[in-house]
Amino acid sequence: MEIVAVYPGSFDPVTYGHLDIIQRGLAIFGQLTVAVAHNPHKSPLFSLKERREMLEAVLDRDPRIEVDDFDGLLIDYAQRKGARVILRGLRALSDFEYEFQMALMNRRQDNSIETLFMMTGETCSFLSSKLIKEIASMGGSVKGLVPDLVAERLKAKFLNLKEGG
Ligand code: ADP
């Protein structure tokens, strides 16, 4: 039976760390929905539309991948999608506590949906959207850490913010 998985996150913006998890996830799951969380309380740098656009642009045209977004409870969304699995990536110990709490809370709400963790790729362990934004905001190079299109969007975004746009 084909397993449907949801990979939720802020993707603000998408990095090679995310893309690595998606590629490896596709080797296991029959359908993978990359679900962009609205997350207004996190004050994302990029709008929901921009985050989705970047994902759509950099992901392979593979019929097994879908880009979507969701608001509200992740577990409700996963149920609506008919997902069996919530896929998350793990980098360092620092990711663990939050992920652990969230996985247990989600299981409490629906124990038929499993949260599965995939270890980061060895070249991606230090990579986070937050760090990428910090580097880009100070004019540093993020080449090789995010797709070129994302690097360009970051540059344009910070230039725009600087100019008060
Ligand atoms: P969130 O705000 O939900 O943490 P992120 O976009 O930061 O959203 O991350 C989405 C998921 O991808 C999380 O499970 C996160 O741990 C994972 N992730 C992000 N960067 C990496 C990376 N470099 N390697 C492995 N997993 C990652």
Write the residue with the smallest CA distance to atom 27 of ligand 1: 89
- 18 flagged as catalytic: yes
Residue the block writes with tokens 């989705």? 52
- 91 flagged as catalytic: yes
Rounded to the nearest whole angstrom, what is the distance from the C-alpha of residue 133 to the centroid of ligand 1?
14
Q: Are strands 85-90 and 4-9 parallel, antiparallel or unpaired?
A: parallel
Among 24, 38, 64, 91, which one carries the catalytic annotation? 91
CA neighbor of 51 nearest in space, from 99, 12, 22, 102: 12
pLDDT in tens, the chain (165 residues): 799 999 999 999 999 999 999 999 999 999 999 999 998 788 999 999 999 999 999 998 899 999 999 999 999 999 999 999 999 999 988 889 999 999 999 999 999 999 999 999 888 899 999 999 999 999 999 999 999 999 999 999 999 888 875
10 pocket-lining for ligand 1 (C-beta < 6 Å) = yes
Does residue 115's CB lie within 6 angstroms of at least one atom of ligand 1?
no
Identified catalytic residue from 51, 84, 128, 129:
129
Q: Is the peptide bond before 13 cis (omega within 30 degrees of 0)?
A: yes
